[in-house]
Amino acid sequence: MTLRILMVNYEYPPIGGGSANATLYLLRELGARPDLRIDLVTGGIGDRLDIESLTPSIRIHRVPVPKKEMHYWTARELATWFLRARTYCENLIRQETFDLGHYWSGWPSGIIGHRHRARIPYLVSLRGSDVPGYNPRLRVLDPVLFKPVARAVWKGAAAVTCVSENLGALARKTMADLRFDVVRNAVDCERFRPGTPDKAFTAIFAGRLIERKGVPYLFRALRLLADDGRICRLLVAGSGPERERMERYALDNGLRDQVEFYGVVGDELPALYGRAHVFVLPALEEALSNAALEALASGLPLITTRTGVEEILDDSGLLIRRKSAESIAEALGRYIDDPALLAAHAGRARANAEAMPWSDVADRYVTIYHEMMKAGAR
C-alpha cells in the first residue's frame, strides 16, 4: 500500500532555519521509500507558484510570499503565507486523495491540518516557537491567542511529536494531558566533520541573532575573559535583529579584533566549524538546535544551557546557567586551561553525532504514519 501524504511547512531551503533543514533531510530519506508519495506545501520567493520534483515520489509546492530576510519571519509575512497556503492546500485536497497530513509546527501550518481534520488525519510536529512560552517575541500574544490555538490544533491531531523532551514538558504547561512522541533532529556526518582548529582558542556561535539565543551574554563573557588575561576568539555565523547591537558592543568594548561576523552562511559553514575549538549556545529556550548537532558532528564540545540541547550532551560539553556571562566565561576558561578535557569532549561529540543519522528519524516517522493509519481503520 502506498501512503499519500500532504506535508506542510512554511520553511524550506533556502527559506528558514532548523525546521527547513530538518524537512529537507527527512524528505531525502523518505524519497527512497517506494511506499510513500509526498506533496510538500511550503514558502517560496518571487511572485508566482513554483512546483518542482525532489524525487519521483516527492513534489515541492512553493507558495510565494514577499520576504525581507530569508531566515527571519515577520508577522505580516507569516500571515500572508498562511492565507495563501490555506487556499492552495484546500484546492490540492480537492484534486488529490491524501491518506494523512504531516504539519511542521502547530501554527501556522497546523491550523491548516486542523481545518481538514474530518477528511485527513494529521500529525503535528512541534518545533519551538509554536509552543506557547518558548519565544519571548510572543509573550504578549501567547495567553490570549496562541494557547487557545495550540490546544485546538494539538487536540485535533491524530499524533503529536516534539523535537525534545524539554519542548514536550513546556507544551504540557499549555495542555497538561498532551500525549506526544519525541523525534529528535539528526545530523549529516558526511557534510560535517572535524577540521583543524585555528591556533588561537576559538569559539563559534551559529544561529539566528535573536533575543532567545542569549548571544549578548556570550559577548560579555569574552570581555570577562579578556579582563582576566585570557583571549577567546569568536566566529558568529548568522544574522538577525541582534546583529547590529552585537557589532556595536564588540566595537565599544575592545572586542572587535576577537570577533568575526559572517552573517548567514551556506556551503562555508562546515569550514567555519572546523576552525573552532568549541560551540557556544547560551539560549534562554531551545528545543533542539540543528547547529548544535552540526557542531557535535564537527567534533566540537558544546557549551549550553539546560534546554533541549542538554538531552544530546552526554559527556560532550559543559552546562551553563541562563543569562550568565560569568558562567559562560567559566566554561570557556575550563577548556582553555584544560586541553585534555577539551580533547575528551571533542571525541565524545563526534561519537554522539554518528549515533544520530537521519535514516533513524525517517524510520520513526514512517512508524508513526502507519500507526495513524491503523488507528483510523479501527
Length of the chain: 378
Confidence check: pLDDT of 137 > 90: no
User: Distance (Å, rounded) from C-alpha 320 to C-alpha 286?
Assistant: 14
Residue 302, judged by CB atoms within 10 A of its CB (0-12, 13-18, 19+), counts as: buried
Domain match, 158 and 251 both: no
List pLDDT tens digits, range 279-310.
999 999 899 989 999 999 999 999 999 999 99
Question: Do residues 163 and 244 both lie within one domain?
Answer: no
Q: Extract long-range pairs of 20-23: CB within 8 Å, 24+ residues apart.
A: 21/290, 22/104, 22/185, 22/290, 23/104
Average pLDDT of span 216-238: 95
pLDDT at 140 over 80: no
The enclosing domain of 350 has a CATH number of 3.40.50.2000
Same domain, 261 and 320: yes
Angle between helices 215-227 and 325-337 (to 10 degrees): 60
106 in the same domain as 16: yes
243 with 174, same domain: the answer is no
Q: What is the pLDDT of residue 228?
A: 92
Specify the number of domains making up the chain.
2
**Sign of the CA dihedral 18, 168, 348, 306?**
positive
Give me the pLDDT at residue 377, please: 54
User: Does the pTM exceed 0.75?
Assistant: yes
Count Cα neighbours of 339 within 13 Å in the Cβ-side half-sphere.
Answer: 4
- Residues whose CB falls within 8 Å of the CB of residue 144, separated by 6 or more in sequence, listed in order: none
Judgement on whether residues 336 and 362 belong to the same structural domain of the protein: no
Same domain assignment for residues 79 and 213: no
CA distances from 311 to 90, 163, 165, 196, 322 (A): 38, 11, 8, 27, 16
Asked whether residue 58 is assigned to any structural domain, the reply reads yes
User: Would you list the DSSP string of 120-158?
Assistant: S-EEEEE-STTSTTS-GGGTTTIIIIIHHHHHHHHHH-S
Distances (CA, A) of 70 to 14, 34, 43, 159, 175: 7, 33, 10, 30, 32
| pLDDT of 378 higher than 70 | no
Same structural domain, 177 and 218: no
Answer whether residue 34 is part of any domain: yes
d(CA 74, CA 69): 9
Please, what is the end-to-end C-alpha distance for the chain in angstroms?
17
Same domain membership, residue 105 and residue 223: no
Look-up of cell digits 487556499: 87
How far is Cα 212 from Cα 135, in angstroms, rounded to an integer? 7
**Coil, strand or helix: which one is 212?**
helix
Q: Say how far apart CA 108 and CA 103 lie, in whole Å.
A: 9
Condensed to tens digits (0 to 9), the pLDDT of residues 41-83 reads 999 988 889 999 999 999 999 999 988 888 778 889 999 999 9
Question: Which residue is listed with cell 516557537?
Answer: 129
Query: Over pLDDT 90: what percentage of the chain?
Result: 83
At residue 16, the pLDDT reads 86
Q: Output the nine-digit C-alpha cell for 351.
A: 561519537
Residue type, 291: A
Answer whether residue 191 is part of any domain: no
User: Is residue 192 situated within a structural domain?
Assistant: no
In a domain, 195, yes or no: no
In which domain, by residue range, is 32 found? 3-186+357-377
130 plus 266 within the same structural domain: no
Report yes or no on 157 lying in a domain.
yes
* Residues 168 and 19 both lie in one domain: yes
**Which stretches within 52-189 are classed as H helix?**
75-95, 109-115, 147-156, 165-171
- Write out pLDDT tens, residues 182-205: 999 999 999 999 999 999 999 999
How far, in Å, CA of 335 to CA of 187, rounded? 25
**Assigned domain for 194 exists:** no
Mark whether 362 and 236 lie in a shared domain.
no
303 located within any domain: yes
DSSP character string of 274-336: HH-SEEEE--SS-S--HHHHHHHHTT--EEE-SSGGGGGTSSSEEE--TT-HHHHHHHHHHHH
